[in-house]
Amino acid sequence: MKGKIIKYRYVWLAFVPFAILCAYMMRYACDLPVYDQWNFVSTLEKWYNGNLAFVDLWSQHNEHRILFPRLIMLALAWLTHWNIFYELGVNLFLGVGICAIIFWQIRKTEILFNKRSNLTYFIVSFFIFSLAQAENWLWGWQLAFFLNVFVVLLGIVFLSVPALTLRNFLGALAAGVIASYSSANGLLFWILGLFILGMHPMKNDTKIRWIIAWLLVATLIITSYLYGYQKTPLHPSLFFFIKNPLQFGEYFLANLGSPFTFGRYRQIVAVVAGFFGLTTFLILLYFSYRLVRKRQMVLMAIVPWLSLSVYSIFSSGLIAVGRVGLGVDQALSLRYVTISNLFWIGIFVLGMFLNIDFTKSSMGLEGAPGFWISILRNKIFRVICISAFILLQIEIAQFPYRWARMRADIYATVRSDFQNEYYDEILVKRYVCAADIHQQISFLAKHRLASFSGNGVLINKPGDNAPVTRALPK
């Protein structure tokens, strides 16, 4: 028993990032609605008044149609009197689901490569439960990101089975529908699914039928998504990236590298990390091609990890098109890390298994210098790499830690003001919601929703014209 524990120590250590995240959420979570959540109050009001229509759930939120996230939040609000902590619980639950799917896929890859890689579980858990995506962990509204990633992963797994069945195909279609109506980048899953079907080693006549069916459903979903679509007036032109290609490229790379931002020069670090990651992905793509030519049977073991990276690359490109006009620094928003993490997870897992295959003399790629093979096999080298990665994660976590601490301080102040029926307009408009939310607060207080239990009659807090000195990190 002791031998097994030591053998699988990295698998057990994979729970450490999850435990750290749970402690982080318990310490800094707040049940005060902020920013876009105040738009959801109108949906709740219509629900309580009995006049909520499908169009209210279907309507755009910025560029997104968040039908399924709204349904989940509405159900939670009905069951819990809109206790926002339950939304955070759903975020954590989806994070665990994402972890379970990726771990299960890693195990399948181990079987196909006939080699265990316990270290992979440990490293991947750092990405999945990373504090670098703190905004999504601490803001219930962001469950759209986790839901999108969860169903996209399910869809990839469904399509990547060696023998594609009707059940798997229908499951992938359902995943595509939920992904599309959870976040705008979910539409990219239809392109990704077409790529996986095209790579699948099934009979050509069967493949053609699946592809035609996929294209028909994709056309229907995308058409329905774009029906009545209106550009958000406050956001920059979608053609801004054409006039500013260098800024677009910088934003794109920074977004890909956002999971590795730290220090004073976060933007430069992110761009360099994104460039390094993209270069590594292209190298792995080349070696994957060489390996598949030698061993066709590993194709469907490689495709899921390539798909993760490709989906993240496409998503970063789509985000860059819509947001580059807001400035490159916006690419480092903590909310985007959940998507960018997929890029690095795909690279790392694929790299680990290609390294295993590369260094095994019986199956390796010919012509590899013995010096490099000896280094890759060296335990001291691996310990150094693991230690460096952990230290990097500690450095990366410092910014989310400071961000969450200041956030909790400010929101606790505003929450206390609301409960005492005070309204500090400067503080509220800067950190809670830019619009006037007196009416929404009255509704929440009337029905005792969220953290509101007063009568909803607010008065201006004395001295609310005083300057606000606290500021959240950008």
Secondary structure (DSSP) of 166-195? HHHHHHHHHHHHHHHTT-GGGGHHHHHHHH
Domain boundaries along the sequence of the chain: 2-404
Strands (E) located in 354-460? 422-423, 459-460
State the Cα–Cα distance between residues 99 and 137, nearest whole angstrom: 15
Structure tokens at 151: 């169903």
218 with 308: CB under 8 angstroms? Answer: no
Q: What is the pLDDT of residue 384?
A: 76
Helix, strand, or coil (residue 422)? strand
Decide the pairing of beta strands 459-460 and 422-423.
parallel
Q: What is the pLDDT of residue 447?
A: 85
Question: Would you mind telling me the total number of residues written for the chain in this entry?
Answer: 474
Tens of pLDDT, residue by residue, the chain (474 residues): 444 444 456 667 788 899 999 999 999 998 889 888 988 998 999 998 889 888 888 888 888 899 999 999 999 999 998 999 999 999 999 999 999 999 999 988 888 877 777 788 888 998 999 999 999 999 988 899 999 999 999 999 999 988 888 999 999 999 999 999 998 899 999 999 999 998 888 888 888 999 999 999 999 999 999 888 777 766 667 677 788 888 889 999 999 999 888 777 888 889 999 999 999 999 999 888 888 888 877 888 889 999 999 999 999 998 888 888 888 888 888 889 999 999 999 999 988 888 765 555 444 444 444 444 455 555 666 677 777 778 877 888 888 888 888 888 888 888 888 887 788 888 888 888 888 888 888 888 888 888 776 666 666 765 544 444 455 555
Q: Quickly tell me which residue has 């069916």 as its tokens.
A: 213
Q: Please, which residues bridge with residue 157 across strands?
A: none
State the Cα–Cα distance between residues 18 and 92, nearest whole angstrom: 9
User: 339: which residues sit within 8 A by CB, 6+ positions away?
Assistant: 145, 148, 149, 185, 312, 315, 316, 319
- Secondary structure (DSSP) of 232-291: -TTSPPTTHHHH-HHHHHHHHHHHHTGGG--SS-HHHHHHHHHHHHHHHHHHHHHHHHHH
- Give Rg (Cα) of the chain: 24
Q: What is the pLDDT of residue 454?
A: 63
